[in-house]
Chain A
Amino acid sequence: MNQLRAMATAGFLAATVLPAAAGDITGAGSTFVYPILAKWADVYRKSTGIGLNYQSIGSGGGIKQITNKTVTFGASDMPLAPETVKKSGFVQFPIINGADVPVVNLPGIKPGELALDGPTVANIFLGKITKWDDPAIQKLNPGVKLPSMPIVVVHRSDGSGTTFIWTNYLSKVSPEWKEKVGESTAVEWPVGIGAKGNEGVANNTANTNGAIGYVEYAYAKQNKMAYTKMVNQAGKTVSPDADTFLAAAAGADWISAKDFYVVLTNAPGDRSWPVAGSTFILMHEVAQDPVASGEALKFFKWGYKNGKQMAAELDYVPMPDNVVALIEKTWAERFKASDGKPLHLSAVAR
C-alpha cells in the first residue's frame, strides 16, 4: 500500500537476496523502479525459486554496468536515443510508468487547489516569473487569493529520472527552456535551490514559504503534499491520479517509435496528465549468457502479466496490454544467442 513500507521490505529483501544463488537474475540502475522490482521479485521468487539481485545505484550507473556486461539488465529512467541503442547493441523496452507532480508551499493553498500550465511553470523555473501573484498565475486561478510572495524554486541536486521527465516536459512546452536549459537527468538550473532526492525536494519545499518543487507522484501522495493541477496539451485541467497517468501512457504512439523511444510528457488526450514518464530496461541484443537473459525476460513477462495490482498499490502505472504485446514481439525478433540463433524463448512464450 505504501511505498515507504515497500522500500523497507525491499531493503530487507536486498539483504536476504544479495548472497545470490547462481541462477538469480542480476540487474542495476534506476532507483525509481526499485520498489516495484523488489516487490515483484519477492512474489516471483516464491512461485519460481528464482530471485532478483538488483542494485538501485541510479540510471547512470545502470547504463554503465550493462555496457560493461556485469549485469543481465540495466534500468534507466531516461530512454537512450535509437542511435545509442544501436551502437551499444542494446534492446530497449519500457517496464513501468510513473509521473512527476509540482508541489507548492503557499499559506492557505490546499492540495489540488492551484492550477498551472506548462509555459507558466517553465517561466517560473526560468526565473522570469518571480512572484506568486503574477498575472500569468492569477489568470489560471481566478478566485484563488495568491500572496505577493517571492517564488522559491526547488530542484534536484542529484541526477535523476524525475528531473529528466520534468525538463523533458518543460522543453516540449517552452522553446526558451529548450534552447537555454534543455533536458537531461541533470541540467544547469537558471534559478533555485538544489536538494538531494525526492525527500530533499519535499523537505525544502515544506520548509520554505513560497516554494515550488517537483517530486515523483507516489512521494507527493504519501506525504500529502500540496500538489497542483496542470493544464494538459488538450487545454484541459487535470489532477494527478492513476486515471490521468494511464491516459497518458495509453495515448502514446509506442508503435511507430523506434526502440520504444517515447517520453510520455505532454501527451495528447483530454484526460492525460502532462508530466508522465517510463522506466526503460536495457539488455544486450546478443546475449552473453542466453540462460540468464531468458530468465530475466521470463521475469519481466511475469511482471507485465501478474504485477499490475502490485504496481497500482505502489502508485505506479502498469504498461497497457497492447504495448506489452508489442514489447514481447520485439523480444522475439531482436534477441539472439551468441551463436547468432534467436534466443531460446520457448520458456518465455509459455
Chain B
Amino acid sequence: MALRAGTLVSVRAGTRARALDRLRLSDIVFRQLTRAAAFGVLLLLSGVIVALMVGSLPALRTFGLSFLMTERWNPVTEKFGALAPIYGTLVTSFIAMLIAVPIGLMIAFFLTELCPQWLRRPIGIAIELLAGIPSIIYGIWGLFIFAPFLQGTLQPLLIATLGHMPGIAPLFSGPPYGIGTLTAGLILAIMVLPFVTSISRDVFAAVPTVLKEAAYGVGCTTWEVARYVVLPYVRVGVIGGVMLGLGRALGETMAVTFVIGNAHRISASLLAPATTISASIANEFTEAVGDLYTSSLTALGLILFVITFIVLAIARYMLMRIERRIG
C-alpha cells in the first residue's frame, strides 16, 4: 500500500515536472519571440541608418560640409546643396506650429473645461477624423481649392497690407502665386492640428480639479485659470504634443509637394515657391540620373532623419518628465 502510494506520488510528481517543463518551455519560446520582435525593430532601424549613410557617402565626400550650406541645386553641372530644402522644411513647419499650437490649445481647453457634455464627442471625433484623412487628399484639396482661394483672397490682402509694413514687408512681397511656402505652412497647420489638440486635451484633463476650483474660488476669470493654472501645470506635456506634431510636419511629403511650388530657392517672401526635403526626394528620385544626384537625394533623406530624430527625442524626454510629475 505504502509502496503503491509512493509510486503514485512519484508518478504524479513526474507528470507535474513534465507539465512544468512544458510551461517553462512555452515561456522561453514566448520570451524569445517577443525579444526577436523587439530586436527586429532595432535591426530595421539600424539597417535604414546604415543604408542612408552608405547611400549619401558619395555626396558628402564630394561636397563635404558645404552640402549643408549651399543653396545651389543644379542637376546639369552636378552641384548640389541642401540649404534650400532644409530652409523650406524648417520654415513651413514653423508656420504650421505657429498657427496650429494656439488653435489646438484653445480647442483642447474648450473641450476639457467649457464644452457642454453633448458637444464633446462630435468635436473630438471631428478632430480625430482630421488626423485620419490621407495626406494626398490634403494635397489635392490644397492645389485645386485652397491655393486658388488664397491667390484670390488672402494673398492679395497680405501683399496690400503687411507687404507695405516696414520691417516685415519682404515677407509678403511678390506676385500671389497661390501656392508657396505660406500655403504649405497652412496645409501643414491643418494636418498637425489633431496631434496638438488630442495630446493637449489629454494632459489638460490631468490637471487636478482642486487646483482649478481653488483658482475659480479666489475669483479668477476663465482666461486666468487657463493662463496661470492649467497651462503652467501641463506646459511640458503640451510641448511634447507640439513636438510630435512637429515631427509629422517635418516629414510630410505628398500634401506639401502639391502646394509648395517645388523651387530650389530661398526667397525672403513667404508667398514665393520653395521646396522641402521630403518634397525634393519625392519629386526627383525616380528620374535622378547619375550617382552624385541620387546620392545627394539620399543625403537629404539622412538630414531629415537626423532632424526628425532630434525632435522626437526631445518630445519623448518632455513627455517622460510630465508622466513622472503627474504619475
**Which residues of A are in contact with B by a Cβ distance under 8 Å?**
57-61, 63, 78, 150, 152, 157-160, 181-189, 192-196, 200, 203-204, 207-208
Given the interface pairs A184-B75, A188-B76, A189-B263, the reply to whether A158 lies near B287 with Cβ below 8 Å is: yes
Given the interface pairs A60-B288, A159-B288, the reply to whether A208 lies near B178 with Cβ below 8 Å is: yes
Cα separation A57 to B288 with both chains bound (whole Å):
11
Given the interface pairs A187-B75, A188-B72, A188-B76, the reply to whether A196 lies near B283 with Cβ below 8 Å is: yes
Partner of B261, one of A63, A150, A159, A193: A193
The 6 A-B pairs of least Cβ separation, nearest first, read A159-B287, A194-B262, A157-B262, A193-B261, A182-B76, A188-B74
Given the interface pairs A193-B177, A208-B178, the reply to whether A159 lies near B284 with Cβ below 8 Å is: yes
Tell me whether B257 is interfacial, beta carbon within 8 Å: yes
Cα separation A160 to B286 with both chains bound (whole Å):
9
Which A residues touch B286, using CB under 8 A?
A: 57-58, 60-61, 158-159
In the assembled complex, 6 residue pairs joining A and B whose CB atoms fall closer than 8 Å, in A order, are: A157-B257, A157-B262, A185-B287, A187-B76, A188-B72, A193-B273
Partner of A159, one of B74, B75, B144, B257: B75
**Which residues of B are in contact with A by a Cβ distance under 8 Å?**
72-77, 143-144, 147-148, 151, 175, 177-180, 257-258, 261-264, 273, 275, 279, 282-284, 286-289
Which A residues touch B178, using CB under 8 A?
A: 207-208
- Given A157-B262, A189-B264, A196-B262, 15 more A-B residue pairs with CB atoms under 8 Å apart are A59-B287, A78-B289, A157-B275, A159-B287, A160-B287, A185-B289, A187-B76, A188-B75, A192-B263, A193-B180, A194-B275, A196-B258, A196-B282, A204-B143, A204-B179
Which B residues touch A157, using CB under 8 A?
A: 257, 262, 275, 279, 283-284
For the complex formed, measure the closest distance between the CB of B163 and the CB atoms of chain A, giving whole angstroms.
Answer: 14
For the complex formed, measure the closest distance between the CB of B182 and the CB atoms of chain A, giving whole angstroms.
Answer: 13
Q: Is the CB of B262 within 8 A of A195?
A: yes
Which A residues touch B262, using CB under 8 A?
A: 157, 193-196
Q: Is the CB of A60 within 8 A of B175?
A: no
Which B residues touch A200, using CB under 8 A?
A: 258
Partner of B144, one of A152, A195, A207: A207
For the complex formed, measure the closest distance between the CB of A157 and the CB atoms of chain B, giving whole angstroms.
Answer: 3
Closest to B291 in A: A64
Cα separation A150 to B180 with both chains bound (whole Å):
16
Given the interface pairs A152-B177, A196-B262, A203-B143, the reply to whether A182 lies near B284 with Cβ below 8 Å is: no
Q: Is the CB of A208 within 8 A of B177?
A: yes
Which A residues touch B287, using CB under 8 A?
A: 58-61, 158-160, 185-186
Q: Is the CB of A152 within 8 A of B175?
A: yes
Which B residues touch A158, using CB under 8 A?
A: 283-284, 286-287
Q: Is the CB of A150 within 8 A of B175?
A: yes
Cα separation A150 to B177 with both chains bound (whole Å):
10
Given the interface pairs A188-B73, A196-B283, the reply to whether A207 lies near B143 with Cβ below 8 Å is: yes
Cα separation A160 to B273 with both chains bound (whole Å):
20
Q: Is the CB of A184 within 8 A of B144?
A: no
